[in-house]
Amino acid sequence: MNDPNGLVHSRGLYHLFYQYYPEDVVWGPMHWGHATSRDLVTWERLPVAFAPDETGWVFSGSAVEDVENSAGFGPGALVAAFTLHDGEARKRGVVPVESQGLGFSRDGGLTWEKFGGNPVLRNSGEADFRDPKILRNPVKGGWNLVLAAGDRIKIYSSDDLRAWRHESDFFPAATGFGVWECPDLFPIRSGGETRWVMLVSQTAAAPNGGSGTRYIVGDFDGREFKARSAPEWIDWGKDFYAAVTYSGAPDGRSVLVGWMSNWQYAAKTPTGAWRGAMALPRELALETRDGRYRLTQKPASGFEALPRRLLAERSGALPLSARGLDLSAADIALSVREPRGPVMVELSNDNGERFSVECDGPVARVDRTRSGDVDFSPDFAPGTQTLRANHPVTALRLIVDACSVEIFFDGGAPVMTNLVFPSEPYSAVSITGSGEADLTVSAPILRAASQDALASR
């Protein structure tokens, strides 16, 4: 699996679709896999929603609930938009090969069919013309759509989700970032005002190498997006890509889901029978820090509400450590008081494998060069990853799963997500440096799921 697709909340269910090739553990003709959840924690797998046919492979896209029946598929129908990709034409060097199509569900998202009039938005000549995200037009009603086209984001409008009018192009101030993919555009409240956030995923030149997702804060009038900020990376780790938000999330929340891998080595990760996982869903907030807009992220409320079993609790002068733990699924919270120099947090096991993050004022360094199996790709752990925050980092939260570590710095601005492949779970956490610290290690308790449920590991 790779990109999250069709994120929509309807009738109490969060729907998660995703790029999927059911015949192998490497990328192939793309389908939309499908899962649902009531809490963004426990997931139930449903049948594949869309499969390739004569119209093409089914690349990334979005979904909305059409309460007013503007598309004519029925009141309250779920409508998906996706890129139709002619893989055979691309092999022959024929362009353009991508256009946009629709699918719909009349039973709350349990079963799906493609619209017989596809494509609804034909390619205007670009080699890459992909990943439509549908949203409500904030001014005149109806719908907007944003998609990636080469070095720009194209914005369209529609009254019925079928006929689309081109409104404008947005050019982020960026070059050399590879293929642009998976745009998103959503409103968010900040300081009593509504701002708009544009997400763009790019296949190259992320801060620590390879693919990554950036955000730009601005204003949107239903026709044009105007930036108020320079592009910022939404996650500084190696493994967070194609991130997009839910349509229709309760209480107007902005809930983000990202694919946890990197195109430098996604087809090589040493996971055997499966490849690909999503990071924990995250809730976003927009703050102004040091005169600049910053998106903050925290795990979604369903994860925060889980009961927890306390594994260890330490407080006092550094160094501190806790050993003999099962950290295959752990929530580690750390705060340091008056650090005098670098502070390092290290996860390790009895096989000598270790993952560490060092904070030295506003600079954080992540080292996974000895985290487990790292030899499958020279791009996986070429050296230390670096993050420069806007202020000294004194609080960390590490959410550890069987093969991932998600690090939230100082309340979730910024974040670093990384895959790890230890031969056995980490069993110890240690903190070294100067100063005093408080450390809490707990294990989230997941309720039982069906045999066919999706798990984050």
Catalytic residues: 3
Task: Return the amino acid letter for 372.
Answer: G
Give the whole-angstrom CA distance, residue 413 versus residue 59: 31
Give the whole-angstrom CA distance, residue 341 versus residue 417: 24
* DSSP H or E stretch at residue 230: none
For residue 148, give the nearest of 116, 164, 165, 172 by alpha carbon: 172
Q: For 114, list phi and psi in degrees, rounded to 5.
A: -85, 150
Residues 427, 326 contacting (CB under 8 angstroms): yes
Residues 242, 181 contacting (CB under 8 angstroms): yes
Q: For 439, list phi and psi in degrees, rounded to 5.
A: -130, 130
Kindly give, in sequence order, each residue whose CB lies less than 8 Å from that of residue 40, ignoring residues fewer than 6 positions away. Answer: 14, 255, 281, 300, 301, 302, 303
Task: Return the amino acid letter for 115.
Answer: F
Give the whole-angstrom CA distance, residue 406 versus residue 404: 7
Residues 170, 221 contacting (CB under 8 angstroms): no
* DSSP H or E stretch at residue 90: helix 87-91
